[in-house]
């Protein structure tokens, strides 16, 4: 199985490019990141919304993700408040999805004959999205390199057919493949490039700034207000009748409403990082975001892309 | 014939495998037996990718069977008879008329021809797969079949002396066959199988050990060998061993090093991090007593004998532990520089519950309560209050944020680092205990004071906001908290009047709420004054009435008319308190059941004064149970009940209460005189015994009444014509009742 002719990648971006090529060859539409702050690649509407309804789907993309509580001022070798996920969503899940996935690991230079790959139970649940699925975290020599999930429900809707979702934590995976101990030392472009740039050259500054901002500066009063605004806006968008008075067309605005849901979710994460949300309140906030996600899912399945009338 | 079934799927969660193998065995064998197919032996096994079942000694065909079915009466309407014929699958001329006690009835004899084993197996296996009781199951692709993860193939063969036969079977497009696959990476090809022995042998050749016990045995053996060779020992962990055995088909044990820079981390941190995140076993150096190495279990052999795999695992561990070390050092620095109270202060920003304030508010309440409880449990009041103030400080630490299961354990380390009193440091760890029915109960007085205060504040808090457990729902673990109070009190022989503390704590919650709701200053003031008086009066109601009386006299009374805020508090508070105490009594019944103390025995003791002192209550219950376990005791109860019943009937019929003392001069019979003497003797013993709380002595004295009471009832008629004698005898019964009821409410005893 080992493809010995394939050379080892030399940089972070080469690993991304190889994944893009691999999944493109396997027939996925290679999309671009969503242009909003999200906590994980799953939040991209190409996953959350497209996992709903009956229309077939196959997409792969990089998604910058933010987890304010994981900020470590750029000092921790493995933790970042801003990082990249690689996300693949295929609907219906093909029977050989595990083999396809393992092929992608080989494509980025992991030799199956020398490493210990394991599928360890990890039932995925996103309380904020009202979504859950069964699957695994995939371990390579004891390190979690991906999440592998068969979506069962999103936004409170049963997934029929079922989507298979793959999420790669790109920094962690790349550090392992490249043999790097500190994320900031990882070559971002080719080390032989005229101007070689490390991950740290690009992100050390921002990690420091955002860590301070996320933990101690983000104005919680404003954030609480923004949360309320996003929540109200999401509901207001969906309250509009489906018939657009200007064009006379049926236009359910699931995506604009979902943007507000994404916003509320990110603001909640920031508030969480500021340590101003208690364990019990957490549940209430998560419930409010979930209610938005559910409304957006309800709206999406009424659209053409969501399989209405199919 | 022998049957072999294998259900081959994507990776089955380790924790579900053992149960799933047993379920497969039970469902298939039950189904076969029900269909008339017996078997000689059965065995099931699971690996991460397969469930397997083998049955030996099946007949090729199930035996013929006759079934007799009773039908409608002879002469019943045609419709009824036709329905019966349809159901039984027979024709009218096959019916037989028989006489029964209810008249002539039609009977049908149905012949069930034996069916081929393969046909039955196919039906049973399909039903088993479709109805399999996975704790969680899923759909995949476009299908509707549910399995724990996608099911890829079904192997199902019946083997006899002519060789194997595939059982014809198809479930949602999956056709049963006689092939499987080996190890995912080491031998992924297809394998054709002829029998169970063949299956096990070929799997092993294809790097799959089918038997989970064998895999666990190999792992444990190899791990110990490798550690032993270096003079180290593996820390036992049966749960982890079972889990790891469920993660591999081909276990390969690798022993790795923990880098020196991490060895100084607390052992709990090392162990938790390695187990929770990496599923590593901890390996101890008996010389230093520290955890210095780890064991990981890979799922394959490699050309470099695991060097690459181990290097990867060590790297992952180093990353995990450098995180842990970062937290540990940061936390220690803060604990030393600012003390733990700074962390507690930060908990002011963390809401405990939106109706019960912040964590810090809660800690303040616990500290005040711990100070009050301290003298009762023999703890220094200042130390107890100080301990309560810092006991939850570690919730602000980075380590506990990362590893919530280390709460308390880290608190102790940090308290020690901050130079706090060892009793305070111990309380940080111990005040959470006991967490479960088998968890150790703290005995150090400061720990006991904080642990009790913590649990009582939680219970009263959630009672005050009406968030009691209902049915199976107990989101705030209040049953556990109540059991914690019970075990803390009993294990330490604590003499705590719970009523007083429950009332005071409930009132504190009420005052906090009154403040938040902007109650009038005079109302809050009345409640505050009541709080000061509770200790003196024992309960809220009495204290409240005294305070209001005084306020009225001074003309400063807040409104207390019907429907006013204070009238409502006056009315609801005692009920709330009673309800919480009853909840604790209910948990006590569950707790004492294991000890062999019956629930009605506890009821009999709960109905006595002082029932909020659990130590006293249980001493009484134990003594009563011990007496009931004797012949005298059991019979005395009968005698008591007889006396009580006769008395109750007479009292109702006569409309009087027989409470005048009986007079021995009206005693006619010898047994009657003897009973007088026995009651005098018992009373003389019971009185002092009750005062000194020597329930065993009191109950023993009571049990001695059995003989005289039995003899009395034997010889004497109570309801005699002579009214003087009758009244005197009824008064004598009343004395029996009064004396017995002084030790426990025996009317509650069942049977």
Q: The dihedral of CA B338, B340, B345, B349: what is its sign?
A: positive
Strand-pair category, A57-66 with A29-30? parallel
DSSP state of B278: I
User: What tokens were used for B456?
Assistant: 């009582």
- DSSP notation for B62-123: PPPEEEEEEEEETT--HHHHHHHHHHHT--GGG-EEEEETTEEEEEEEEEE---BHHHHHHH
- Enumerate the β-bridge partners of residue B44: B53
A116 touches chain B (CB under 8 A): yes
B359, closest residue in chain A (CA to CA): A278
User: What tokens were used for A27?
Assistant: 């027939």
Contact residues on chain B for A136, CB-CB shorter than 8 A: 11
Q: How far is A160 from chain B (nearest CA, A)?
A: 7
Domain B614-748 fold is: Isoleucyl-tRNA Synthetase; Domain 1 (1.10.730)
pLDDT under 70: residue ranges of chain A: 1-6, 279-280, 310
pLDDT value at position A177? 93
Nearest CA-CA partner of A133 in A269, A34, A59, A42: A42
Reported as half-sphere exposure (CB side, CA atoms, 13 A), residue B96 has a value of 10
B353, closest residue in chain A (CA to CA): A280
What is the C-alpha separation between B544 and B573, in angstroms, rounded?
Answer: 11
A93 touches chain B (CB under 8 A): yes
A232 touches chain B (CB under 8 A): no
pLDDT value at position A277? 83
What is the C-alpha separation between B504 and B572, in angstroms, rounded?
Answer: 14
Exposure pattern of B470-505 as b/e (b: 16+ CB <10 Å)?
A: eeeeeebebebbbbbbbbbbbebebebbbbbbbbbb
Reported as half-sphere exposure (CB side, CA atoms, 13 A), residue B553 has a value of 6
B37 close to B62: Cβ distance less than 8 angstroms: yes
Nearest CA-CA partner of B106 in B66, B68, B71: B71
Helices (H), ranges, chain A: 12-25, 45-48, 97-107, 170-178, 199-212, 220-239, 254-273, 279-300
User: What tokens were used for B264?
Assistant: 């100084």
Exposure pattern of A179-218 as b/e (b: 16+ CB <10 Å)?
A: ebebbbebbbbeeeeeeebbbbeebbeebeebbebbbeeb
Rg (CA), chain A: 20
The interface residues of chain A toward chain B in range 160-189, judged by CB-CB distance below 8 A, are 160-162, 164, 176, 181
Contact residues on chain B for A119, CB-CB shorter than 8 A: 10-11, 48
What is the C-alpha separation between A123 and B688, in angstroms, rounded?
Answer: 65
pLDDT > 90 in chain B, percent: 68
Q: Which of B9, B47, B141 is the mutation pick for testing A, counting most A CBs within 10 A?
A: B141
User: What tokens were used for B316?
Assistant: 């992952």
pLDDT value at position A279? 65
Q: How far is B302 from chain A (nearest CA, A)?
A: 6
Domain B343-573 fold is: Hypothetical protein af1432 (1.10.3210)
B334 close to B343: Cβ distance less than 8 angstroms: yes
What is the C-alpha separation between B142 and A160, in angstroms, rounded?
Answer: 7
Rg (CA), chain B: 37
Contact residues on chain A for B319, CB-CB shorter than 8 A: 77-78
Q: Which residues contact B35 (CB under 8 A, 6 or more apart)?
A: B62, B115, B120, B123, B124
Cβ of B359 within 8 Å of Cβ of A123? The answer is no
Cβ of A114 within 8 Å of Cβ of B312? The answer is no
In the sheet that B233-234 helps form, which strands lie side by side, from edge to edge? B233-234, B281-285, B290-298, B252-257
The tokens 């009343």 sit on which residue? B734
pLDDT value at position A3? 46
Q: Where are the beta strands (DSSP E) in B113-251?
A: 151-160, 163-166, 170-171, 174-177, 179-181, 190-192, 233-234
What is the C-alpha separation between B211 and B451, in angstroms, rounded?
Answer: 46
User: What tokens were used for B414?
Assistant: 């940090």
Cβ of B150 within 8 Å of Cβ of A119? The answer is no
Contact residues on chain B for A164, CB-CB shorter than 8 A: 140
pLDDT value at position A2? 44
What is the C-alpha separation between B742 and B739, in angstroms, rounded?
Answer: 5
B581 close to B538: Cβ distance less than 8 angstroms: no
In chain B, what are the domain boundaries?
A: 2-61+116-205, 65-112, 212-335, 343-573, 614-748
DSSP state of A185: G
pLDDT under 50: residue ranges of chain B: none
Nearest to A77 among B15, B136, B322 (CB): B322
Cβ of B152 within 8 Å of Cβ of A95? The answer is yes
B494 close to B377: Cβ distance less than 8 angstroms: yes
User: What are the Cα distances from residue B435, in Å, to A249, B385, B426, B721?
Assistant: 61, 22, 16, 64
Q: A102-130: per-residue pLDDT in tens? A: 999 999 999 999 999 999 999 899 999 99
- Enumerate the β-bridge partners of residue B73: B105
Domain A219-300 fold is: Methane Monooxygenase Hydroxylase; Chain G, domain 1 (1.20.58)
Q: Where in chain A is the domain with CATH 1.20.58.180?
A: 219-300
Contact residues on chain A for B136, CB-CB shorter than 8 A: 123, 134
DSSP state of B598: -
Is residue A252 within a helix (H) or strand (E), and if so which, with residue range? none
Cβ of B303 within 8 Å of Cβ of A134? The answer is no
Q: How far is B741 from chain A (nearest CA, A)?
A: 48
Domain A12-212 fold is: BirA Bifunctional Protein; domain 2 (3.30.930)
B151, closest residue in chain A (CA to CA): A95
Contact residues on chain B for A121, CB-CB shorter than 8 A: 11, 13-15
User: What are the Cα distances from residue A249, in Å, to A244, A300, A303?
Assistant: 5, 16, 12
The tokens 């019964």 sit on which residue? B733
Nearest to B141 among A72, A92, A278 (CB): A92
pLDDT value at position A228? 96
Q: Where in chain A is the domain with CATH 3.30.930.10?
A: 12-212
Cβ of B308 within 8 Å of Cβ of A141? The answer is yes
Contact residues on chain B for A284, CB-CB shorter than 8 A: 354
The interface residues of chain A toward chain B in range 35-54, judged by CB-CB distance below 8 A, are none
Residue B408 φ/ψ region, left for φ over 0, alpha for ψ in the -120 to 50 degree band, beta for the rest: left
pLDDT value at position B110? 87
Cβ of A162 within 8 Å of Cβ of B10? The answer is no
Exposure pattern of B412-425 as b/e (b: 16+ CB <10 Å)?
A: bbbbbbbebbebbb
Nearest CA-CA partner of A154 in A239, A36, A55, A47: A47
A194 touches chain B (CB under 8 A): no
pLDDT value at position B470? 87
Q: Which of B16, B243, B313, B316 is the mutation pick for testing A, counting most A CBs within 10 A?
A: B316
Q: The dihedral of CA B177, B182, B185, B189: what is its sign?
A: negative
Q: A205-230: per-residue pLDDT in tens? A: 999 999 999 988 889 899 999 999 99
What is the C-alpha separation between B387 and B389, in angstroms, rounded?
Answer: 5
Contact residues on chain A for B299, CB-CB shorter than 8 A: 116-118
DSSP state of A193: S
């Amino acid at each position: 199985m080992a493809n010995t002719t394939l050379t080892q990648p030399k940089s972070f971006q080469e690993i991304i490019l190889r994944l893009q090529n691999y999944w493109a060859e396997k027939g996925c539409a290679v999309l671009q990141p969503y242009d909003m702050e999200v906590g994980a690649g799953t939040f991209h509407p190409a996953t959350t919304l497209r996992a709903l309804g009956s229309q077939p789907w196959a997409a792969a993309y990089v998604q910058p993700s933010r987890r304010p509580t994981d900020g470590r001022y750029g000092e921790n070798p493995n933790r970042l408040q801003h990082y990249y996920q690689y996300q693949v969503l295929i609907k219906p899940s093909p029977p050989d999805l595990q083999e396809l996935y393992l092929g992608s690991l080989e494509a980025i230079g992991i030799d199956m004959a020398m490493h210990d790959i394991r599928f360890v139970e990890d039932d995925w649940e996103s309380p904020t999205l009202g979504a859950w699925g069964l699957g695994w975290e995939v371990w390579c020599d004891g390190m979690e390199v991906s999440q592998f999930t068969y979506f069962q429900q999103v936004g409170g809707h049963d997934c029929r057919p079922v989507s298979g979702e793959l999420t790669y934590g790109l920094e962690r995976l790349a550090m392992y493949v490249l043999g790097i101990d500190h994320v900031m030392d990882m070559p971002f472009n080719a080390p032989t490039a005229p101007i070689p740039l490390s991950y740290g050259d690009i992100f050390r500054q921002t990690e420091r700034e955002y860590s301070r901002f996320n933990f101690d500066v983000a104005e919680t009063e404003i954030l609480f207000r923004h949360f309320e605004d996003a929540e109200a806006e999401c509901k207001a968008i969906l309250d509009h009748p489906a018939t657009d008075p200007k064009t006379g067309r049926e236009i359910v605005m699931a995506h604009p409403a979902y943007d507000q849901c994404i916003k509320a979710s990110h603001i909640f994460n920031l508030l969480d990082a500021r340590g101003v949300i208690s364990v019990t309140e957490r549940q209430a906030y998560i419930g409010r975001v979930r209610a938005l996600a559910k409304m957006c899912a309800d709206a999406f399945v009424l659209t053409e892309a969501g399989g209405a009338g199919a | 014939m022998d049957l072999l079934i294998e259900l081959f799927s994507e990776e089955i969660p380790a924790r579900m495998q053992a149960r799933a193998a047993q379920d497969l065995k039970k469902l298939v064998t039950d189904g076969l037996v029900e269909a008339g197919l017996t078997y000689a032996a059965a065995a099931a096994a699971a690996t991460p990718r397969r469930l397997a079942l083998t049955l030996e000694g099946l007949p090729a065909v199930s035996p013929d069977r006759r079934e007799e079915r009773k039908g409608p009466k002879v002469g019943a309407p045609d419709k009824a008879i036709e329905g019966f014929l349809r159901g039984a699958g027979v024709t009218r001329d096959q019916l037989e008329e028989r006489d029964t006690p209810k008249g002539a009835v039609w009977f049908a004899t149905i012949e069930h021809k034996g069916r081929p084993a393969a046909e039955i197996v196919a039906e049973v296996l399909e039903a088993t797969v479709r109805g399999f009781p996975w704790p969680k199951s899923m759909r995949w692709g476009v299908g509707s079949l549910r399995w724990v993860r996608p099911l890829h193939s079904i192997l199902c063969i019946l083997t006899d002396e002519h060789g194997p036969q595939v059982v014809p079977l198809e479930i949602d497009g999956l056709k049963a066959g006689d092939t499987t696959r080996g190890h995912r990476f080491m031998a992924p090809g297809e394998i054709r199988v002829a029998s169970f022995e063949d299956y096990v042998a070929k799997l092993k050749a294809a790097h799959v050990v089918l038997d989970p016990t064998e895999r666990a045995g190999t792992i444990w053996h190899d791990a110990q060998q490798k550690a032993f060779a270096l003079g180290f020992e593996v820390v036992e962990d049966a749960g982890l061993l079972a889990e790891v055995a469920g993660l591999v088909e081909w276990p390969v044990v690798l022993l790795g090093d923990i880098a020196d820079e991490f060895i100084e981390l607390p052992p709990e941190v090392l162990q938790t991090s390695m187990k929770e995140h990496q599923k590593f076993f901890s390996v101890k150096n008996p010389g230093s007593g520290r955890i210095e190495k780890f064991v990981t279990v890979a799922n394959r052999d490699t050309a470099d004998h695991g060097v690459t795999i181990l290097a990867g695992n060590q790297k992952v561990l180093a990353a995990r532990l450098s995180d842990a070390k970062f937290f540990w050092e940061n936390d220690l620095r803060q604990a030393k520089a600012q003390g733990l109270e700074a962390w507690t202060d930060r908990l002011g920003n963390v809401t405990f519950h939106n109706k019960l304030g912040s964590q810090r508010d809660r800690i303040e309440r616990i500290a005040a309560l711990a100070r009050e409880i301290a003298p009762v449990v023999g703890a220094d009041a200042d130390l107890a209050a100080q301990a309560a103030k810092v006991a939850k400080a570690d919730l602000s630490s980075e380590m506990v944020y990362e590893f919530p299961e280390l709460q308390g354990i880290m608190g102790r380390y940090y308290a020690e680092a901050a130079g706090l009193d060892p009793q305070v440091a111990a309380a940080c760890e111990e005040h959470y205990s006991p967490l479960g029915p088998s968890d150790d109960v703290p005995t150090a007085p400061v720990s006991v004071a904080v642990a009790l205060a913590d649990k009582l504040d939680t219970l009263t808090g959630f009672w005050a906001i009406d968030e009691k457990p209902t049915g199976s729902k107990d989101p705030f673990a209040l049953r556990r908290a109540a059991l914690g109070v019970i075990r803390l009190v009993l294990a330490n022989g604590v003499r705590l009047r719970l009523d007083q503390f429950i009332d005071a704590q409930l009132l504190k919650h009420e005052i906090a709420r009154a403040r938040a709701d902007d109650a009038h200053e005079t109302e809050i003031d009345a409640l505050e004054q009541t709080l000061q008086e509770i200790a003196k009066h024992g309960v809220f109601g009495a204290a409240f009435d005294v305070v209001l009386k005084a306020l009225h006299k001074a003309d400063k009374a807040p409104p207390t008319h019907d429907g006013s805020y204070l009238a409502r508090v006056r009315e609801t508070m005692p009920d709330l308190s009673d309800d919480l105490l009853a909840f604790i009594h209910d948990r006590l019944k569950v707790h004492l059941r294991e000890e062999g103390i019956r629930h009605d025995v506890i009821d009999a003791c709960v109905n006595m004064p002082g029932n909020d002192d659990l130590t006293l209550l249980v001493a009484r219950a134990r003594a009563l149970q011990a007496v009931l376990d004797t012949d005298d005791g059991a019979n005395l109860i009968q005698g008591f009940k007889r006396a009580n019943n006769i008395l109750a009937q007479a009292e109702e019929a006569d409309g009087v209460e027989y409470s005048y003392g009986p007079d021995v001069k009206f005693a006619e019979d010898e047994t009657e005189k003897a009973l007088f003497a026995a009651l005098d003797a018992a009373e003389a013993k019971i009185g002092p015994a009750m005062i000194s709380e020597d329930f065993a002595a009191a109950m023993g004295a009571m049990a001695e009444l059995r003989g005289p009471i039995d003899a009395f009832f034997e010889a004497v008629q109570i309801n005699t014509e002579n009214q003087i004698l009758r009244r005197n005898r009824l008064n004598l019964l009343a004395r029996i009742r009064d004396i017995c009821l002084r030790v426990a409410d025996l009317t509650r005893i069942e049977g």
